[in-house]
Each structure stands twice: as C-alpha cells, then as structure tokens.
Structure 1
Amino acid sequence: MIEFRNERARQFVAEQAQNLGDTRALQLLETGVQSPDDATHLARLYWAIVDATLDQDVEYLLEQTYSALHIHCGNNGFDSAWEQEIPQ
C-alpha cells in the first residue's frame, strides 16, 4: 500500500483516478509498485491529475500526492522510471 501523510490526499488521488477511469492506478494505490512499468503508470497518473485539476485550488493535495508517489517509487527502486515521466 502506498502511504500518504494524510487521508485526504489518498482520497484525492483515488477520486481523480476514478474520474480518469484508471482502474490500474486504483489497484496500485492498494498494492504499491512492483515494476518500473508500475512506477511509470503512477507518474503518468500524477501528471494527468495535474492537467485535470488546473482550474482547481488543489496545490496542497498535488504536493502531498507528488511526495507520496515519488517517495514510494524511489523506496522501491523505481525512481528513474518516475523521473523519466517528469515533463521538461
């Protein structure tokens, strides 16, 4: 399971994944990453959430989300897969 600093951030990510129809991301939130492909998927989810919420005041939740997902991927050895998805 991916650990978040607060439950609201976890709910935010789950809601956004649901809104985007991303069932794989919902599963990864529960199981955690086990491969570079999983880390890439979560990174792409994060940037899709950023794009989908541009007109909303959710900067704090985006920061919490980024930290939780990035740290989780890094702690599991997939930081390079995550970082390759950061837009230039």
Structure 2
Amino acid sequence: MQRLGCTGCVYFKPHVYVPYIGFCNVYRTDVIDRAAPCESFKPVSLEDLAKHLEENGWLYCINCRKIITTREELEKHFQEHVIAKEVVIDTSVGEEAGGD
C-alpha cells in the first residue's frame, strides 16, 4: 500500500469498515490515510458532494456509517464528519469465521 493523506480527498474511496484504508482513484492503488497529502490531493467541497448526491442519489458518512440521501442530511454531516462519494465494500468480511 502507498502512504497518502487522503481523508477528505475527492479521489479517496475509504473502506466501509476501516475508513483510514481505502483506494486512490488517481493512482489506482490501495492507500492508508496516515501521511501528508500527496500532490494529487484535492479537498472535497460541499458543492462537490452535493453534485455527486444529485447525480448518484447517495453519499456515505464515514463517522456515522450511514447513507446520506438528501442535501439537508449532507449539510448536517458535512460540518463535523468525513463524507465519501464512494466506499470500498469488502465482501469477505461477512465470510470470516468468528473466534471462539
């Protein structure tokens, strides 16, 4: 994995359960959000997210782990939470056996 500072970046697609790990749409690679922003970092604005919401019908609040479907919800969450346009869904998580 590359180390890039990506939370709040337009190009970062966080993992749904582990949001500091995700996928960078610029470098097409897995990333960990534990470093200074890279040269491709572009902060997400409220208008970027509102446009995506209008076009795709949903956003994801990383802090609450909830789907956002309205502009009002977006504005409420945007002030204090990290909102993602897309998330990485890990289908293998549900298939892991629980420890006894």
Per the normalisation by structure 1, the TM-score is 0.29
Where is the strand percentage greater, Structure 1 or Structure 2? 2
Per the normalisation by structure 2, the TM-score is 0.27
Where is the helix percentage greater, Structure 1 or Structure 2? 1
